[in-house]
Chain A
Amino acid sequence: MSGLAQLLSSHGISHDFIIKATFYSIAGLTLLFALLVVLSRNIFHVAIYLAMALIGIACVYLYLDTEFLAIVQVLIYVGAIVTLFIFTVMLTADIDTGPMRGMIRRVSVSALVSLAIFFILTNVITMTAWKDVPPAEAPVSLAQLGKSLMTDYALPFEVISLISLAALIGAIVIGKAEKR
């Protein structure tokens, strides 16, 4: 790493600049893929774009010092949920969903509402005085995460396992073919 950093700094490129450049390009790509998720017409392509957007979000997690969550994001979201989406797309028809009657009005009203919410959120975020430098404490280690998951958050953890079991059984019951 130091060799590369020395090479770049000899060309007048600072470490901070590289961090910023990569973050903003990753954020831009994530937003681009998210837009493609809602705008693309072919639902199979949408699943692929969703996978790309989720990988971009995993990269954003790396900038927040949460390596474990980035790994979990790639494993569970990209590995399991997107695969599940693709399976469902393959099991159902209507891959290419054309426009319907009155769609233009609906799209314009939806865009208006979404943009209004975005502008409200943007105003609130830019008007608030956030701390722009994180505290100097070391990032939370995986051991610390596991400890608080088993002590402070033991009850929510058990509830989550119960919900997973309920989802498993519910999926089997709902998805089971009925006997004719």
Chain B
Amino acid sequence: MIPQSHFLLLGAALFSIGLFGVFTRRNAIGILMSIELILNAANINLITFSKFSGSTDGSGQIFALFVIAIAAASAVVGLCLVISIYRNSKTILVNKINLMKW
């Protein structure tokens, strides 16, 4: 069987990669995609702990389902904001959007 720590290491690696993407992407859509990677890393951890702690009511899976639902809602609203910003300022590069910055 695969040991528990390897699932956790996969989650940690995915989290770090997503964090790097959030830091370096200029495109607002790219930042949202990196956030999806981070949320998936959290899901892997939730399900791993749920399986290896032997919970019988599936609470880890239910929390992962909630995370997926929240991620879908946040992606919808975030992409809507991106389209709205693009309509107003004709760019979605975050270093060019400085309407509310001094």
Q: Which residues of A contact B (CB under 8 A)?
A: 16, 19-20, 23, 27, 30-31, 34-35, 37-38, 43, 46-47, 50, 53-54, 57, 60-61, 63-66, 68-69, 72-73, 76-77, 80-81, 84-85, 87-89, 91-94, 97, 100, 103, 106-107, 110-111, 113-115, 117-118, 121-122, 125-126, 128, 130-135, 137, 139-140, 144-145, 148-149, 152-153, 156, 160, 163-164, 166-168, 170-171, 174-175, 177
Q: Please, how many angstroms separate the alpha-carbon atoms of A87 and B2 in the complex?
A: 38
Contact A31 B76, beta carbon cutoff 8 Å = no
Q: Which residues of B contact A (CB under 8 A)?
A: 1-10, 12-21, 23-27, 29-30, 32-34, 36-37, 40, 43-44, 47-48, 51-59, 61-62, 64-66, 68-77, 79-84, 86-87, 90-93, 95
Contact A93 B86, beta carbon cutoff 8 Å = yes
Of the A-B pairs whose beta carbons lie under 8 Å apart in the complex, a sample of 26, sorted by A's number, is A23-B2, A34-B17, A34-B37, A37-B34, A61-B47, A63-B7, A69-B64, A77-B40, A77-B71, A92-B29, A94-B91, A100-B95, A114-B16, A114-B17, A117-B15, A125-B8, A128-B5, A131-B4, A132-B3, A132-B5, A134-B52, A139-B51, A140-B55, A144-B58, A148-B59, A167-B73
